[in-house]
Structure 1
Amino acid sequence: MSDDVATVTLTIDADDDTTDEVEVPAGLLDLVAEGDQSSAETVGDVVLLSFASRAHHIVHHGHDADEELEAQEQHIMDLFEERFGVTFGEATGHQH
C-alpha cells in the first residue's frame, strides 16, 4: 500500500556546494502546510522547528552545554522567532 502514496522530492543545496534530496509523502506536506505555503516553505518550517527542538533539548535537557553550544541554541531560537513571529516556548508551550 505504501507504494501507492504520492511523494514530493525536494533538493537541498548547501553553501559548501553539497546537495541532498529528501522524499516525503505529498499528503503530509498538505497536512502540515500553513495556508497556501509551497512544499519548499513547508519543509523549511519543519527543518527550522526540528533544529530548534533538538538544540533546545541538547542545551536544556542534555549534559554539559558549553557557551558556544548555548550561543548556537540562542541563534536558532532567534531565527525561529524571526520566521514564525513567536518564540519557541510560545509555539510549543514548553518554556523554561
Structure 2
Amino acid sequence: MADSITVTVETETGTDEITLPLDVIDLYREEPEETDAMIAADMLVMAFTERAHALAHHSEDEATEVDLEAIESEMLEAFEDRFGVSYAEATGHSH
C-alpha cells in the first residue's frame, strides 16, 4: 500500500478526517516549503470556489433560498486572496 496522509478538517460544529495517498498531495506541491496542510487547504479553496461558481452559473435549479451569486463572490475573493490571481485568470474560465 502506498504511503498515506490523514487530513483533518475541524470547524465549530465538528471534525472529519480523510486519508489520501501521499502521492496525490505531492502532485500539487509547487514549492518544497509548502506543507501538506497548505496543499490540502489550497485544494479546499479550489473545490469550494469551483462548486460555488458552478452552482451560480451552470446550475439548472433556479429556485433556491440562498444567494448563490453572493456566495460565489465571497469564494472568488477568498480564491484571489489565497492564490494572488483571480479564479478567471487561474482557470481561463470567466463570464
TM beyond 0.5: yes
* Aligned: 1:56 with 2:74: no
Q: Which has the higher contact order (CA 8 A, sep 6+)?
A: 2
| 2:6 partner SS | strand
Aligned counterpart, 1:19? 15
TM superposition shift of 1:27: 0.9
- Extract structure 1 runs of 4+ deviating beyond 4 A: none
| 1:23 partner SS | strand
TM-score, normalised by the number of residues in structure 1:
0.89
Residue 11 of structure 1 contacts residue 19 of structure 1 at CA under 8 Å; is this kept in 2?
Answer: yes
Structure 2 residue corresponding to 1:45, chosen from 24, 37, 42: 42
- In structure 2, runs of 5+ residues without a counterpart are none
Aligned counterpart, 2:88? 89
Give the number of equivalent residue pairs: 92
Q: How high is the sequence identity, in percent, across the aligned residues?
A: 37
Q: Decide which structure has greater helix share.
A: 1
